[in-house]
Structure 1
């Protein structure tokens, strides 16, 4: 009898017992999703339908017809079919189709249609659009670390100048919102299952943008410089400056505002040294992280730090060709097996670094 009651309680709860681990891994912060079982609120604060929602989405009488019409209008749009907003509208249509086929009657289908329609109509009318993701009634925030990576990629100028990097970024945002909808309806396992595709799209966007940036910065037709003693020396003995990020950036920070005063002094000194390097050399700035935490968050953080240092050096007069990349926890300098986290963190410090490699330009 006790076992049957436990099964009944789990069945009546708004989240399954086995889902708690998935919920915790999703990093859910919405207080309404951190409670389950009897007494869970279903008021407006918890996402209950209000009159404003009804008036907004009441026109969506037949979701199938609305989606077919939207797809036709989107396909007829002139211009680049792979632009950020066109890709995002298409991904919202796809998300609505998936939810509709899954018999999801919680309102996400209508909200996804609404997002696709808003983008499509703005593109048709030439109206300005915002890349900010909206707050939707049926979507909770999951994996804040992945959203941080999204914002890091979106804020990098290289992404805006690389059309191929935009579609996977736009779809990653929609997929992360769809994962947030799964979490909102307390299907935490389903929410977690969407994340590998989100991560793959983010990685694809970041890697594509990096390739675009390197292609722009790498001269293809410039005449080769004369091979003098300085260039021969650099070619024979590449030098690497390794900077510990613990002394460069505040914890978990990677933008210019996160550079510590001691870090600025280090980078100023590096800039002074690099400005004396012959022009036949180039720099490769590579960010690394330790193995702790989420793999894709570490890749994003290491990439952001490398880009930040590249821009910092350029702003201080370093004119050598530069490329920047993030490698996450690859190429560790030390292997630590301590069990206490604070001791382990100290041991892994050498792996948290940015390397500035000086190499000769091929003749």
Structure 2
């Protein structure tokens, strides 16, 4: 019996065959990574350096000193800055160090430093930082199903106030991006080898978020009068799409706010509310800024009308601090995926116990 040619080829080039199998399992949709040999693209769409990238990242002449400086700045942040963004900055630093030590000079080190620096500067200055993962030149999307899990966890309101769930989630995102870099380098087996750690981090994040949610339910049942530190309300449940005034409020949204008002009035330790409105990234920024502020103002007025007397600070941040990142090409699918980003957050400031 003759041995099939493909078996012989795999026997002679075992690593290459395994890598192609790994490529298939990664769920890669980037056509430039599905072509090899003579037909492989070398243009900008395939990740070639362009002037914009050079202008953004060529300012890192010494990656070792840049990473040491970033680590020192991150270490100086106060304890209250511990959470999702600090963990994400640390994981970006770790990814940059690991890639640099491997002798990889294809640009991911600079991109990772750039991400860590952006987050660190935001934490230092107190300015809003986006939770969305940017499209990087040296990163391709792998395992879209894992990214869907990331978005599902990030969109759960419990995660916003569950600090234990945030670090493993942040590091899972960075690890997925690093796996995407491996895939971009066509090292598909290396990319796949990172996935067990990603899966474990996502599992830990989901489990801890669930525990936090159960703790909140148990606390609500107890006669303590305490409320969670942040209440996140989906804008799509509060208002008609692209609406933000009283007329656009939905019956379900009114019922949800009625329950929030009852909880706030029962919290004896409550001193102040900070209400922030958000939109998704679609549309004109000026319109989104106005809409996000309008939503926060409408919620504040509603709570006032229901007897909430605590001081209220209001702001609209348009599409800042996105919870999920979506890449759907169809508008309807994209609008549905971006739903968690359209929200109103009510931060509760309570008296020290």
Contact 1:30 1:141 in 2 (8 A): yes
Provide the rounded CA distance (Å) in 2 between the counterparts of 1:40 and 1:220.
59
> Which runs of at least 4 in structure 1 moved beyond 6 Å after TM superposition?
none
Aligned to 1:130: 130
d(CA) in 2 for partners of 1:50, 1:103: 22
Q: Unaligned regions of 5+ residues in structure 2, if any? A: 224-235, 238-353
Deviates more, 1:211-220 or 1:197-206: 211-220
Partner of 1:180: 180
CA distance in structure 2 between the aligned counterparts of 1:176 and 1:145, rounded to whole angstroms:
11
Instruction: Identify the residue that residue 74 of structure 1 maps to in structure 2.
Output: 74
Q: Return the alpha-carbon distance in structure 1 between the equivalents of residues 203 and 18 of structure 2.
A: 30
Determine the structure 2 residue equivalent to 1:169: 169
Q: 1:21 maps to what in 2?
A: 21
Deviation at 1:125, TM superposition (A): 1.5
Contact map agreement 2:27 2:144 (CA 8 A) in 1: yes
For residues 81 and 94 of structure 2, the distance between their equivalents in structure 1, rounded to whole angstroms, comes to 15
Indicate the residue corresponding to 1:93 in structure 2.
93
Tell me the equivalent position of 1:84.
84
Offset, 1:54: 0.8
1:102 aligns with: 102
1:228-239 to structure 2, matched below 5 A, reads: none
> Which whole-Å CA distance do the structure 1 matches of 2:125 and 2:81 have between them?
16
Question: What is the rounded CA distance, in whole Å, between the counterparts of 1:124 and 1:220 in structure 2?
Answer: 34
| Two-structure CA RMSD over aligned residues (Å) | 2.5
Give, in whole Å, the separation in 2 of the partners of 1:10 and 1:131.
Answer: 42
> Where does 1:24-43 land on structure 2 (aligned, <5 Å)?
24-43=24-43
Q: Look up the SS of the partner of 1:141 in the other structure.
A: coil
Task: Describe the shift of the 1:136–1:220 C-alpha distance in structure 2 as closer, same or farther (beyond 3 A).
Answer: closer
Corresponding position: 1:147 with 2:108: no
- Find the counterpart in structure 1 of residue 206 from structure 2: 206
Equivalent pair of 2:176/2:195 in contact (CA under 8 Å) = yes
Q: How many angstroms apart in 2 are the aligned matches of 1:222 and 1:74?
A: 38
2:213 match: secondary structure: helix
Q: 2: distance between equivalents of 1:36 and 1:92?
A: 30
Alignment of 1:154-303 (within 5 A): 154-219=154-219, 222=222
Q: Separation in 2 of the partners of 1:140 and 1:16? A: 20
CA offsets, 1:68-109, max 9 Å, x none? 000001111124353111110000000001101111111100
1:264-290 CA distance string (max 9 Å, x none): xxxxxxxxxxxxxxxxxxxxxxxxxxx
Q: Shift of residue 20 of structure 1?
A: 1.0
Report the Cα distance in structure 2 between the residues aligned to 1:115 and 1:67, rounded to whole angstroms: 12
- 1:81 and 1:87 in contact (8 A); partners too: no
The two structures have a TM-score, normalised by structure 2, of: 0.58
Alignment TM-score, normalising by the size of structure 1: 0.57
Q: Aligned partners of 1:57 and 1:130: how far apart in 2?
A: 19
* Contact 2:33-2:186 at 8 Å conserved across structures: yes
CA shift at 1:37, angstroms? 1.4
- The CA deviation at 1:137 is 0.2
Residues in 2 aligned to 1:139 and 1:219: alpha-carbon distance in whole angstroms:
43
Aligned residues: 218
Secondary structure of the 2:37 match is coil
